Amino acid sequence: MFKRKIIGVLLACIALIALIQNGPTFLENRKLDRYLADDGFHAYTYDQFDESNLALFTNEDETMLGLAEMSGDGYSATTVETVDAAPFDYIELEHEGTYYWGERLNNNPQKVASLRIIGERMQGEHVLNRPEEDTFSKYHILKLHNVPQEDWTIQTLDQNGQVIDSIDL
């Protein structure tokens, strides 16, 4: 009986610590989810960067992709119509000089390891999935530190660094 009480107290402490650490993020995600659901959208994934909670979302028939942000400053969102048969759909959101990139992989997401952004004076690569671990997601939100100002190319790469798909913007 004594062991059960100790285990119960330990589990309660762990739950309390988890709630304290993740509670604000969880509540902000629920609030963001309510905003999206009220407008008829469904969130694929949530992520948090600094003081902002972000959601990558779509409409009911998945012909629109959106990126929403909720921070202490309020709520903002942007949407774009998706292209039929595109290897991936993407959207960007700029908020106070910070750029966020949302992406939905349409072709073989289990093979996509990273995303490469190539601009005239910059290049950046972001890890998306780890195919060697058999874990992958079709939906990603990234915080971009450098954003190309002119022409750019977006590429998805496999775990060997080979280009899977490429789109010129």
**Under a CB-based contact definition with an 8 Å cutoff, are residues 140 and 45 in contact?**
yes
Whether the pLDDT of residue 162 is over 50: the answer is yes
pLDDT number for residue 14: 59
Task: Pick the closest to residue 88 from 159, 148, 169 (CA basis).
Answer: 169
* pLDDT tens digits, 96-150: 778 888 999 988 888 898 888 888 777 788 888 887 777 788 999 988 876 666 7
Whether the pLDDT of residue 17 is over 60: the answer is no
pTM, two decimal places: 0.75
Whether the pLDDT of residue 92 is over 80: the answer is yes
**Under a CB-based contact definition with an 8 Å cutoff, are residues 65 and 89 in contact?**
yes
pLDDT number for residue 55: 87
pLDDT number for residue 5: 66
Pairing type for strands 152-157 and 114-119 reads antiparallel
